A and B are shown apart, each in its own frame.
Chain A
């Protein structure tokens, strides 16, 4: 299979007056067509920055330091989203790569009706007003919402409904890729489940590639095919979600999985210490100050992400 999106050596930073702190450091990632890829990590690990970079939305003081994000279009042409001029970038957005925002309550404009917010981008992409509304109805129907929602304002809808509106808005153009940034945060468990099911449904129905960003391992376990675990701006582990849950390679992944509540009544393993700030990464392996396996090499040498078992990658000196 050819990856629909190839991320190569992507580094994204935030510029202060003196330096640039890298929130995403040399990330390499292939996204396969039709898969649901999860990006998981603690808050501040760079996963949202990665999502924003994929959408070409990095704004000052954010800076893309290096790398490329190659998107394969329907005609097999490759487009590098990094460095693309504003106009072609606008055309690619929503048509090729759409976005389900984190906390759609604040992502929807409070003073505009859902109708306008769902259709303005469609009209922008060349649809007529009537077609756009038809498309919006269809999309709402898809996420099990009544078309009456079109005439509502965001504050008149519940959190779950807003999230569905956001999903519906994202699929109106039937994009190749959907980036869902924490799609279930701030929702109750029941709603979370149904929202995730919508995502799976969309993938199954249209073969849409979905990148789900979340800090929640539970979300990963529920929907994701493949999962990338991020720590301090780097990918720590990458592989099929089943394999990782079965046998996590990276000590960080192990700790993460260990912190999931289980029904066995087992004592939860905590993760000691805090994730480093992007202004003061430790040298060598960025996880070593919190790692029980850390040795001298961890303090000096940055471990490369390498394939340990077939299809499962990890960046650790000690997982052989």
Chain B
């Protein structure tokens, strides 16, 4: 401010500059946040456009595929031929030229609250309703499982890295490596056959017992849902937790080689303080970014597990949509998971400055 002596003559501008001075430390952060949010909206727009282009360029006219499939299987209830196809085209908005379709699509998705038109898989239910009907299960099963896996995996990984010189940890690392390379469905099927069919300890599939009426106010129902969720969540936690722990372990080991670690030791800090303030905190940063992306990816479901555990998730929906070229639903699922990944990485990006002060200055 000293370089602007003229301005200092006015007292109000002095107040202003005082305010500015007070805000000064936060300005880089504010700039950073604004920039990130701007990039976020541009990326979302790009993703919406790409989704539209991609699914409209896919080979095959969805209607004729559906109809011919029916015709060939002799279940043909479609009797009207071309005019019926026209009627359905109108209904699904396919009769408009592509640019108009695109603009309508943009309007419906961005302003109309994710309105993607009717689904084909569950016609005439709207795509939004079909996806949002499945979404809570996907989030409840896989996103939460991923979160648990991250918490457990990161803790164990940090300990494994910290205790890297102790022989016993190599056994744990071996187990984690083994789990990490095991396909999750093998663990899932083994768990079902063992705990479900042989020991009869846990239910084997479906989100709750089919005889029950869903009632989220009923503690018995919630208990039932939780019991059904144990195996799917445990499978994900085992495999992903192992992968997170291996990642965290190597991050820890690289941090443990840093100069500030031996400096902290030279200062006479206890191992616990070093672990907490110097090693864990620094190793955590890349791990948080990994969590953001992993969480976003669970939104489109862990398809194979949904099939094995008969979970009504988004992944299975996507596959069924793909089988009959329901590009409304496919677009919806792809968009949703893209937006989820983008949103979560935005959240991570916005959180990182609080974890890592270096980022705040990165675009000064």
Contact = CB atoms under 8 A, between A and B. Distances in A.
A98 B265 CA distance: 11
Interface stretch (A3-11, A15-23, A104-112, A224-232): A104-112
A106 B358 contact: no
Contacts of B264: 109
A153 B273 CA distance: 19
A112 B279 CA distance: 12
A242 to B, nearest CB: 31
A103 B259 contact: yes
Nearest to B271: A86
B361 interface: yes
Given A109-B264, A111-B282, A120 B361 contact: no
Nearest to A116: B277
Given A60-B165, A110-B357, A155-B361, A124 B270 contact: yes
B94 interface: no
A55 B266 CA distance: 7
B263 A120 contact: no
Interface stretch (A89-97, A253-261, A278-286): A89-97
Interface string A167-209: 0010000000000000000000000000000000000000000
B interface, size bucket: 20 to 34
A93 B266 contact: yes
Interface string B239-264: 00000000000000000001110111
A59 B277 CA distance: 20
Given A60-B165, A153-B358, A108 B260 contact: yes
A167 to B, nearest CB: 13
Contacts of B356: 110-111
Contacts of A94: 266-268
B277 A57 contact: no
B263 A101 contact: yes
A164 to B, nearest CB: 15
Contacts of A108: 260, 263
Nearest to A90: B268
Interface string B339-359: 000000000000000011110
A16 to B, nearest CB: 16
B359 to A, nearest CB: 10
Q: Lowest 9 A-B CB distances belong to which pairs?
A: A93-B268, A121-B267, A107-B263, A99-B266, A106-B259, A153-B357, A90-B268, A109-B260, A107-B259
A101 B266 contact: yes
Contacts of B260: 106-110
Interface in A150-174: 153, 155-156, 169
A201 B188 CA distance: 69
Contact of B358 (A89, A121, A124, A155): A155
Interface string A108-129: 1111110010001100110000
A249 to B, nearest CB: 34
Contacts of A116: 277
B172 interface: no
13 contacts: A52-B262, A91-B268, A93-B266, A98-B266, A106-B260, A109-B264, A109-B278, A109-B282, A111-B282, A111-B357, A121-B267, A155-B357, A169-B267
Contacts of A110: 260, 282, 356-358
Contact of A112 (B258, B259, B262, B277): B277
